[in-house]
Structure 1
Amino acid sequence: MISTGTARNGRTAGGIAVLGTGSCLPSHLVGNDEVGAAAGVTDEWIRNKTGIRARRRAKPDEATSDLAVAAGRAAMEAAGITAADLSLVVVATSTPDQPQPPTASIVADGLGAGHGTAAFDVNAVCSGFVFALNAAQHILAGSDSPYALVIGADVYSRILDHTDRRTAILFGDGAGAVVLGPARPGRGLLAGRLAGFGAERDLIEVPGGGSRRPTSRETLAAGLQYFRMNGRGVRDFVAETVTPAITAFVRGAGYTAADVDHFVPHQANGRMLDDLSATLGIAPGRTHATYQDFGNTGAASVPVTLDHAARRGHLADGDLVLLAGFGGGMAMGLSLLRWQHPVPTHTPAHTTPFC
């Protein structure tokens, strides 16, 4: 387990803050009746099990990088910077455009980032954004470069078996982004914690298509190219591992659940999030949710939900915000930050996440 930064006495680790947020959800809406018909379940069954009403899907000609570019542009607009100001672009995804090059390279070029801007991907599945956020924070803190763009983006509709009710009903496509830059005194990223639990890696996986099981007629016939998940095992992992780890993390940073003004968790499943928030002791009104309309968007879910809260004016300057990503690996990423209200050079025109 890796811990980063310190929040004691309100000090900011590295002086790095979120300066702007953005998101992109495809315009194509897919309701429960449509996904339920293929999976053999009803709208009522999906709502009762997950709380999800709808999700968004990328168009046939849209890839992960397309959504990431749109989210990145929105975040830069909110922060009042341009791609020329970026020294780093990090994309968290487990559905890259292609095995090589990194999707981040495609995104940096699409945004018009300057020659020499560093770009790399992070694959920690649904924890990926928080992993990328922690990495980018420390890269910036140790350099003279002021700005980084961190994006979580996934197009899970391309890797789902749409007849599998355990997975097909949960996932949507999307991207969310933040710009990182200099923090004002008493603001910014305070602490982070990254952890992996490889012995439980088979709870969430895509078995085929890699170096161990290269794509072949046999792997395709067996459906190994599709996303698989042990839902009961994941729920147990969250209850037995993630929940106590979050409590310990917040306490170790010098706070309690009562101090958390905003909890932005991975949007895995509405029922799971209800249990998680209740067990942590975080008041219902302080947990932000977007799963109802967007489903589980993988690495995008935390930044999409953060952007949703920020653009609706729910986050006040100085509020304590807890981000929690968890999922395949198994992995968990946590971040605690003191919100720095963005002061862009102009009013962002991006008021809706649809793109």
Structure 2
Amino acid sequence: MGNARIVGSGSFLPEKIVSNEELAATLNSKGIKTSDEWIIQRTGICQRHLAENLTTSYMAGEAAKLALLDADIKSSELDMIIVATSTPDNVFPSTACLVQANIQAYSASAFDIQAACSGFVYALSVANSFISSGFAKNIMVIGSEIFSRIIDWNDRKTCVLFGDGAGAFVLSESGDLHSGILSVDLQANGDYSSILSVGSHFNNSAIVGDPFIRMDGQAVFKQAINFLEISARNICKKSNFPLESIDWFVPHQANIRIMNALGHKLGIPNDKFIITVDKHANTSAASIPLAFDYARKDGRIKERDVVLMQGVGGGFTCGSILAVV
């Protein structure tokens, strides 16, 4: 038995693209002063994809199909499907069960994980544990989100930040302890739960309360950098792997200023960071697999490269995965 290795990746983005100019025009028509320059300066985002009539499970299934093709693995060979999402189609059944039916992976168990924007890293850690312990050989891990449906489009602090999309990995046993996922670091601190949340809840089977994302931007910015720096240093210490020897950093694509500040704290040059926030905006649990797949398909991330993937989000949660691709 060995560690879990990424043997395939795939991604899906809705066709509809909304530029900063279009979004700013809509907000300005409501008396909410915004501009393309304002959004780029504060976030690095230029556009976002919106799902319109699509579902989270549909997008997840499309990304999964592409990941299977990339891995040259049949859906019948999957032992497990894990979907990281905060925007499932239903309370239940799980999004993963809907994906299972979509891709006809009837030999696979299926369940969802919810850790907000850290969800994909949490899901990868679970998949790695099942594979490295010998309980599974092939696992599909997906991040899929439609945050556009939980955004208050009159709240400039949040509506400019998010987009929709899905990304997927196929993980298989590497057979080599020095390849695949080398180490995992997961963190959470519920004391910061109020700085990024959706306050609605169930009461007698009905959703009540505020259904939209609410965020204390300054607090999130500060804690995100703090959590990510600590987690990066922790995982390198666990792995006995020098930070400067990592080939690529694939952080959660929340805000370019967070990524720049993290690079400064760690002493890592900007050209080692995979950046897609300008094209995709913040797609929550989908952002890491989308960015990874984008850079893998354009030839930057190559076989045997060492990659650090990091998520941070509501909870407050954070996680890091160090892997040899």
Match of 1:178 in 2: 169
- The letter of the residue matching 2:20 is N
Shift of residue 126, structure 1, vs aligned partner: 0.2
Give the letter for the 1:47 counterpart: I
| Map of 2:104 onto structure 1 | 112
Aligned residues: 319
Output the amino acid matched with 2:13.
L
Determine helix, strand or coil for the equivalent of 1:215: strand
Cα distance in 2, alignment partners of residues 247 and 324 from structure 1: 12
Counterpart code for 2:39: I
Instruction: Give 2:128's aligned amino acid.
Output: Q
**1:280 aligns with one of 256, 259, 266:** 266
Q: Which moved more, 1:15-24 or 1:309-318?
A: 309-318
> Kindly tell me: are residues 241 and 212 of structure 1, through their superposed partners in 2, closer, same or farther at Cα, counting changes over 3 Å?
farther
Name the counterpart of 2:323: 337
Report if aligned partners of 2:84, 2:113 keep a CA contact under 8 Å in 1: yes
CA distance 1:47–1:37, shift in 2 (3 Å) = same
CA-to-partner distance for each residue in 1:288-347, whole Å, 9 max, x for gaps?
Answer: 0100011000000001001011111112222110000001110011100011xxxxxxxx
The aligned residue for residue 125 of structure 1 is 116
TM-score calculated relative to the size of structure 2: 0.94
Aligned-partner residue type, residue 17 of structure 1: R
Q: For 1:310 and 1:211, locate their aligned partners in 2 and report how far apart those are by CA, in whole Å.
A: 44
The CA RMSD over aligned residues, in Å, is 1.6
Distance 1:38 1:79, change over 3 A: same
Under a length normalisation based on structure 1, what TM-score does the superposition of the two structures give?
0.87
Give the letter for the 1:318 counterpart. R
Deviation at 1:184, TM superposition (A): 4.8
In the TM superposition, structure 1's runs of 4+ consecutive aligned residues that sit over 6 Å from their partners are none
Ranges in structure 2 where 5+ consecutive residues have no aligned partner: none
Identity among equivalent positions (%) equals 35
Structure 1 residues 232-282: Cα deviation after superposition (integer angstroms, max 9, x where no partner) = 110110233321332232133212221110000000101111111121112
The match for 2:137 is 146
Aligned equivalents of 2:108, 2:205: Cα separation in 1: 34
Q: What stretches of structure 1 of length at least 5 have no aligned partner?
A: 1-12, 340-355
Matches within 5 A, 1:1-355: 14-39=2-27, 40=32, 41-60=34-53, 62-114=54-106, 116-185=107-176, 186-211=178-203, 214-216=206-208, 219=209, 224-339=210-325
Shift of 1:16: 1.5
Per mean C-alpha deviation after superposition, the further-off stretch among 140-149 and 272-281 is: 140-149
Write the letter of the residue equivalent to 1:165: R
Indicate the larger mover: 293-302 or 39-48.
39-48
Preserved CA contact (<8 Å) 2:46 2:278: yes
